[in-house]
Structure 1
Amino acid sequence: MGALPRVRVEDRSQISGSEAAVPLVLDVDDALLRTDMLHETAIACLKANPLRIFNLVGWLFQGKAVLKRKLSESVPLDVENLPLNEDLVAYARDAHANGRKVGLATAADELLAKRLGRRFDFVDFVIASDGISNLKGVNKAAVLVERFPDGFAYAGDSRSDLDVWAVSQSIVLAGASYDTTRKARALGKPVEAEFIRPRLGVRGWLRAVRAHQWAKNALVFVPLVLSGLATDPLALAQALVAFAAISMMASGTYLLNDLFDLRDDRIHWTKRNRPLASGALRIKHGVPAAAVLIGGGLVAAASLGLATFGLVAAYMVTTLAYSFYLKRQPIVDAFTLAALFTLRLGIGIAAVSAVPSPWLLVFSMFLFTSLSFAKRQTEIQKSVANGRSSVSGRGYLGSDAGMVVAMGVSTAMAAITIMVLYIMNDVYNAEFYRQPLFLWVFPAALFMWVSRIWLLCHREQLNDDPVAFAIRDPISLGLGGLMAGAFVLGWTL
């Protein structure tokens, strides 16, 4: 698809002057918008209260028009930030500027459709579902023929729009699939323009499941190494399965988190480009993908035994609690993120049956609490710079910056202290390390790294995620390599 233009405006010689002058009627879901308002309102409804799933089922049994009306009445959907098909918007605006009447005809409920219509200065009329009749397919075609007996042009994208194109005077293809495009052209109507919806592709899916975050899941290998089992083929295979299990689970819960965070992500300076928030990934595809990944993670974890399954399930429950509620609770959110990192270590311990290390687990909690506060501090700074007094979707105010810095730096220093105490109390008595003197590199390198993280954070030069930043930062990678070298020397010499 990369070689294809996103917009094809057909040869206007095929379209007579009268055809070009007829009203231009725009479908909304996945046509004018890069999303579906029914799916948007359903997700927003469940985010407010997951138990409303029973309400949704009951409304659906009464018909789609009833479902849409009930959702429109119960969910204050933010229509101003819904992602647009900018090419179709520009086409419609140009048509309106040239004297053509332009309007919306959508199966979405009219309460939402009229609010959406006020977003655009080129919309002259809005026709939508009324809570009784679902304005889709043949129903929409009948209403438009009655409303515009002299003809109309219709911009749509779905198979149900073939019924409308069959009675329209001309066609605008607004992101239709190959099969729908072929059938639409077979109707023999003039095609004014074709707007091609870019495919998500493999890279897009990897972005959607945040494959770059799988680096965090390498924590499951730490117990394998520290327990001296890295050369055991069976233990290594078990750790790899654990890595796959937590990666699938994390990706699935990332998708769910993005679904529930659509509104907040769309007003965020970087998160608005995420595939779900931008509309590159449709909600109807994101939901089953999340279910498959979460299910796959649980199955892989179950193959490693009850303990690993329980910890992966605990990760899932904690992540969902975070997405629904805990991330909006200041301080608790940072502690929860640290717990999720530490659970990765626990999963690695359970997978290879290593002996748990209290030192390692407590160190992890303090270190990752500090990094979580660094992420929140960056969000506070950028929110203030954008003129906001609080962080959208979080519980932090702009005035909390000083306290967040204090807690972040103090927990970082606590992590270093715990590492020093571990070296002093346990390392010299352990048979695992032949030259424990080399391990003193660890607290020194870690001090340099966390100090650098917080210095960059203070200077507002830190990426939203300190861990993701570290993976791309040469100095961070160099310090990580130094610690890895010190570990190998302490272990083997």
Structure 2
Amino acid sequence: MAIASVRRAETPASPPTPTAGPKPVPLVIDLDGTLLRTDLLLEGAVSLLRRNLLMVLAMLLWLPRGKAYFKRKVAERAVLDIATMPANAALLAHIEAERAAGREIVLATAADELMALKVMQAFPVFDRVVASDGVRNLKGEAKAAQLASLYPQGFDYAGNSAADLPVWARARSLIVVEAPGGVARAARALGKPVREFPAASRLRALTKGLRLHQWAKNGLVFLPLVLGGRAGDPAAWGLALAAFLALGLVASASYLLNDLLDLPHDRAHWSKRERPLASGRLPLSAGIAATILGLAGGLAVAFAAGPAVLVGVLAYLALTLTYSAWLKRVPMLDALTLGGLFTLRIAVGVAAVGVAWSPWLLTFSMFLFTSLSFAKRQTELRGAAKRGRSGKLSGRGYQSADEPVVLAFGIAAGLASVVIFILYLANEAFRHAALAAPLALWAFPMVLVLFMGRVWLLAGRDELHDDPVAFAVKDRPSLALAGIAGLAFGIAAFGLPQGLVAGWGL
């Protein structure tokens, strides 16, 4: 069977602009990683798994029949919104200019023809599609031979990967689009005219996708260490650090996994569409690899820290996956689940350092972080209303009419957390002989009231970042309050320096 090749039907509405002189050679554009900052095969596979995890069994049966057959089966079943996929705007502008000058624009891709035709419909700049057909895989040498046969007079080619080198070898001139450094150097070495569209830093995109600033949440594992009176124990600090690292790796991997599962909703969201995976700045393949490595590394560290830490981290992972797959779409329960994830961090800290469990502390954590989760939802609802998007919040179960309820529950949960911490101080903290100066902990309720008040004031003004944690680590007043709280905890654990105590006559 011949490689699929489809021409666009001629329409009198948008004919190419005639040009004088010889007809220019066609401009041939690759699809995955070139026109689109994504890979449609991976997008399709993730789409199938998002709908039904058992599809992995079907995929394992398709693979032995060849890459082209696998692509066809995925293309037949995947539901993708091509219009929201991240396109390379600079390349697209170049294509439109060349088409206006009278050039034939060809989409030549190893993706299956069914997907390529959807791209052709979404981007009306293409006159022809050449793609894999379910039998032969149009990649590398196969694509080069097909294009050389179709255009013996020559063609220019835009690509991005090592698989495009055989095509560039037969092309008249090359367009290198966001290619890795080694690929770009190999393309230049061919000695032909080269135009380059450089890529942004993928390392920076990966760092952003891992959400390393969110590791600040994992600082909760040290809370039992301080309040449990083991702040002077180096071995306890080592165990707490291991728990911190394990949770950080698993959490970062979970964020990437959540982004993979939530791609269609993120791309429809006014701010989340700029996330590394949704925007295409981080390739799906890199995101999947980082997810696997992060989960494996985090669980290995948790195992080394002890069985109790491993159980806690596995519970965190299970709840995170359940949240990503289902709970985040259930109103109210989604915020409670996020509060539970924060509280699990404290539980992992308790398990790591082996201190007594404190129901007051765990309950305080649930209410505090449930309040912050409601603040996140309230900000999203206000943002959607501000942009004229009524009805349901994309990817969530909330409606615009729910904003007053979310506001009320969020503020109530925040105030409840303050009351519960005061009850903890009155009923437990001052009975703990291991704390050097427990009176210092009375600073924390006041700090907490000021912080929660600032969060909800800014949320009401529509000035709060989508993520309260990202807001807190950049907001100067919040950082100042965090410094006061940290100082209070330090004094509670270690007491005041002896010189200062003597100077004050204490």
Shorter-chain TM-score above 0.5: yes
Gaps of at least 5 residues in structure 2 are: 1-19, 497-506
Deviation at 1:174, TM superposition (A): 2.1
CA deviation map 1:238-294 (0-9, x unaligned): 111111111111111111111112222222232222222221211112211111111
Deviation at 1:102, TM superposition (A): 0.9
**Contact kept? 1:384, 1:390, Cα under 8 Å:** no
The equivalent of 1:286 in structure 2 is 287
**Equivalent AA in structure 1 for residue 380 of structure 2:** E
Aligned CA distance change for structure 1 residues 362 and 150 (closer, same or farther; 3 Å): same
Q: Identify the match of residue 91 of structure 2 among 88, 93, 104.
A: 88
Aligned CA distance change for structure 1 residues 168 and 20 (closer, same or farther; 3 Å): farther
2:489 and 2:160 map into 1 onto residues whose CA distance is 58
The equivalent of 2:357 in structure 1 is 356
**Equivalent AA in structure 2 for residue 244 of structure 1:** L
RMSD over aligned Cα atoms: 2.0
Range that drifts further, 55-64 or 91-100: 55-64
**Equivalent AA in structure 2 for residue 72 of structure 1:** A
Deviation at 1:186, TM superposition (A): 4.1
1:197 and 1:390 map into 2 onto residues whose CA distance is 36
2:142 and 2:348 map into 1 onto residues whose CA distance is 54
1:125 and 1:311 map into 2 onto residues whose CA distance is 55
2:22 and 2:170 map into 1 onto residues whose CA distance is 13
Q: Which of structure 1's runs of 4+ aligned residues deviate more than 6 A?
A: 17-20
The equivalent of 1:62 in structure 2 is 65
Deviation at 1:176, TM superposition (A): 3.0
**Contact kept? 2:155, 2:171, Cα under 8 Å:** yes
**Contact kept? 2:441, 2:488, Cα under 8 Å:** yes
**Which aligned pairs between 1:155-234 and structure 2 lie closer than 5 A?**
155-188=158-191, 190-201=192-203, 203-234=204-235
CA deviation map 1:390-412 (0-9, x unaligned): 21111111111111111111111
Aligned CA distance change for structure 1 residues 196 and 488 (closer, same or farther; 3 Å): closer
CA deviation map 1:394-440 (0-9, x unaligned): 11111111111111111112211211222222234332446544433
Aligned CA distance change for structure 1 residues 133 and 221 (closer, same or farther; 3 Å): same
2:108 and 2:490 map into 1 onto residues whose CA distance is 67
**Which aligned pairs between 1:405-416 and structure 2 lie closer than 5 A?**
405-416=407-418
2:37 and 2:445 map into 1 onto residues whose CA distance is 49
CA deviation map 1:439-478 (0-9, x unaligned): 3332232122212211211111111111221222222222
The equivalent of 2:139 in structure 1 is 136
Are residue 36 (structure 1) and residue 72 (structure 2) matched?
no
The secondary structure found in structure 2 opposite 1:30 is coil
Are residue 332 (structure 1) and residue 351 (structure 2) matched?
no
The equivalent of 1:10 in structure 2 is none
The equivalent of 1:303 in structure 2 is 304
2:430 and 2:473 map into 1 onto residues whose CA distance is 31
Aligned CA distance change for structure 1 residues 20 and 197 (closer, same or farther; 3 Å): farther
What percent of counterpart residues are identical?
A: 48
Aligned residues: 475
Give the alignment's TM-score, normalised by structure 1.
Answer: 0.91
Deviation at 1:20, TM superposition (A): 8.0
Q: Identify the match of residue 465 of structure 1 among 456, 464, 467.
A: 467
The equivalent of 1:446 in structure 2 is 448
2:457 and 2:26 map into 1 onto residues whose CA distance is 59
The equivalent of 2:249 in structure 1 is 248
